[in-house]
Copies of this chain bind each other. A is one copy, B any other.
Amino acid sequence: MSYNKTPSITAETINPKVKIFNYEPCGEIVRYAERLQQEMDENPGSLPFPEIIHCNLGNPQALGQRPVTFFREVLCLCDNPALLNKDEARALFSPCAIRRAQRIINSIPGKETGGYTDSRGVKSLRQAVADGISARDGYPSDPDDIFLTDGASSAVNMMMQILIRSHEDGILCPLPEYPLYSASIILHGGTMVAYNLTEDRDWSLEIFEVKRCLEEARSAGLTVRAMVVINPGNPTGQVLSITNQEEIVEFCRKEGLVLLADEVYQDNVHVENKKFHSFKKVARSLGYDETDLSLVSFHSASMGFYGESGRRGGYMEITGFGHDVKDQIYKVASVTICPNIAGQILMSLVMDPPKLGDESFEIFESEKEKIHSSFWKRAKTLEKAFSSLEGVSCNNIEGALYLFPRLHLPSLAIKAAEAEGVSPDVFYTHRLLDATGIAVVPGSGFHQVKGTIHIRCTILPDEDKIAAMIPRLKAFHESFMNKYRGSEPYMKDLRR
């Protein structure tokens, strides 16, 4: 049969906004590492390293981090409430996990954990999150300002959908950035207005730079609607000072910008002299209330010491918006009906963990402390290793889970990259992976400042793996630099 067919859907005829955005935070290097892994599985010993060490993935549990026992006990009991009435269960679960699960189930309409919930999440779980925020900040939080979400990414996408009307709407975003922001802005048809973080000053956020970008965007006819701040920083690992946060609050207030505060690494601050302060706390400390500043704070159950990324638990706290706007956000949330309930429960547990006196408290604290101190050790070890390399300057990792060292490569290396048609960071990361099995992400994936070369390295592989990778990293780097200086042959094989 021959039909007068209209063309079927092709990559050329899909929504162009989908085509143009680029979102591969770990990108091509992941697929390359997968190919190498397959090669190793099929021909053991064929590659010059015993295993691939994934410093590319911000995915704690996939790299061996164990979940927090209390969280999983509660989740498990909420899945199977029949256990709550069985004597055998008392031997398997801590009493406070049993109590908590019972309380959660009792608070859900229908007393089942499989029904649709309010599109913002179960009221009692939003209350737990709000209470956690109040305790953290010392300022009240209202459960009706909380939207539980399928991870922070969904929340960010929702806000972009609300804020962006056309490409004439701009959103201020840091560079380097976590590329969800540029992807989401483009996908929703807006324009990213990039401001640079200052690497020389520990990736600080300079208001004059943001102001310059805002003014430039306005002169170009854009309506700038919001400013994204990531604190602690991804991929840059800085923790903003209060003074800096105050400047940002003043700036957004003065310029009428919504402050979109990515605070998902709030439980990952590694240095003694810095603390996490939420933007809401900073704004309230300055005496600003809802009428002064529109603020959205994003958080999730993905990182911290809990690392429950695949569970997709998250929230946003929305303050300084009218009820009519909140109703519209509610409507957008309702299009996917409700966030998943296991993620909702987890998020409530993150914000309302066991307290002193609860039977699980000691175990919980020791699990948390163990992860925290191990992160610190790993961060310091890697920081020292990168800083010791020729031509590498490495940021002082204050928070989050990433190092973002800058490479100063010989011009021959840059030319060799050019000849291969790739950027120097991609060239370097491929060579590193080929020679050592160490996978890191090229800085271009995070939109590093043009003309600079970085790599993003997570601190997530366990301590033994990090200890094992460092001599390989050093040997590789030395050899790479020697080769492209032209003085020594490039070491292809690091097997000893």
Name A's B-contacting residues (CB within 8 A). Answer: 3-11, 13-16, 18-19, 21, 23-24, 57, 59-67, 69, 72-73, 75-77, 79-80, 82-83, 86, 88-89, 91-92, 109-110, 112-117, 150-151, 153-154, 157, 161-165, 180, 183-184, 187-188, 223, 225, 253-258, 294, 302, 307-312, 320-322, 324-325, 327-328, 331-332, 334-343
How long is the Cα–Cα vector from A294 to B82 in the complex, in angstroms? 44
Kindly list chain B residues whose C-beta atoms are within 8 Å of the C-beta of A165. 13-16
Kindly identify which residue among B8, B15, B64, B113 contacts A320, using a CB–CB cutoff of 8 Å.
B8
CA A60 to CA B16, docked complex, whole Å: 39
B-side contacts of A3, CB under 8 Å? 253-254, 256
Q: Given B82, B256, B309, B339, which contacts A5 in the complex, CB threshold below 8 Å? A: B256
Task: Decide if A114 touches B311 in the complex (CB within 8 Å).
Answer: yes
Q: Is the pair B115, A309 in contact by a Cβ cutoff of 8 Å? A: yes
A75: which B residues are within 8 A, CB to CB? 79-80
For residue A115, which residues in chain B have a CB less than 8 angstroms away from its CB? Answer: 59-63, 307, 309-310
Q: Are B325 and A312 closer than 8 Å at their CB atoms?
A: no
CA distance A252 to B80 in the complex (A): 44
Residues B335 and A311 in contact, CB atoms below 8 Å apart: no
Q: Which residue of B lies closest to A7 (CB)?
A: B256
Closest CB of chain B to A435's CB: distance in Å?
24
Number of identical protomers? 2
**By the criterion CB–CB under 8 Å, are A336 and B73 in contact?**
no
Contact A328 B162 (CB under 8 A): no
Q: Are B157 and A67 in contact (CB under 8 A)?
A: no
Query: Which B residues are in CB contact (< 8 Å) with A342?
Result: 79, 311, 340, 342-343
A310 touches B338 (CB 8 A): yes
A325 x B11 contact (CB < 8 A) = yes
- Given known pairs A23-B334, A256-B8, A335-B184, the reply for A73 and B62 (CB within 8 Å) is no
**Interchain CB contact under 8 A, A153 and B9:** no
Is B76 in contact with A151, judged by CB distance below 8 angstroms? Answer: no
Q: In the complex where A91-B88, A114-B61 touch, is A334 in contact with B24 (Cβ < 8 A)?
A: yes
By a CB distance below 8 angstroms, the chain B residues around A59 are 110, 115-116
B114–A308 touching, CB < 8 Å:
yes
Instruction: Give the Cβ gap from A286 to chain B, nearest Cβ, in Å.
Output: 11
Complex CA gap A23/B336 in Å reads: 10
The chain B residue with its CB closest to the CB of A309 is B116
Which B residues are CB-close (under 8 A) to A184? Answer: 335
The chain B residue with its CB closest to the CB of A253 is: B3
Once the chains bind, are B114 and A336 in contact (CB under 8 Å)? no
**Which of B9, B183, B321, B331 is A18 in contact with, Cβ under 8 Å?**
B331
Asked if A164 and B15 make an inter-chain contact with CB atoms under 8 angstroms apart, the answer reads: yes
From B15, B67, B80, B256, give the contact of A114 (CB < 8 A).
B67
Chain B residues with CB under 8 Å of A310's CB are 113-117, 338, 340-341
Q: Which of B19, B80, B294, B311 contacts A340 (CB 8 A)?
A: B311
Contact (Cβ within 8 A) B335 A187: yes
Nearest opposing residue in chain B for A109, CB measure: B62
- Residues of B near A157 (CB, < 8 A) are 335-336
Residues of B near A324 (CB, < 8 A) are 10-11
A180 touches B335 (CB 8 A): yes
The distance in angstroms between the C-alpha atoms of A54 and B163, with both chains bound, is 36
Question: What are the residues of chain B within 8 A of A6 when measuring CB–CB?
Answer: 223, 255-257
> Nearest Cβ distance between residue A111 and chain B, in whole angstroms?
9
Asked if residues B256 and A11 are in contact (CB atoms below 8 Å), the reply is no
Interface pairs (13), CB distance under 8 Å: A4-B254, A6-B256, A6-B257, A14-B162, A18-B332, A23-B335, A59-B110, A62-B110, A117-B310, A150-B312, A310-B338, A311-B342, A312-B341
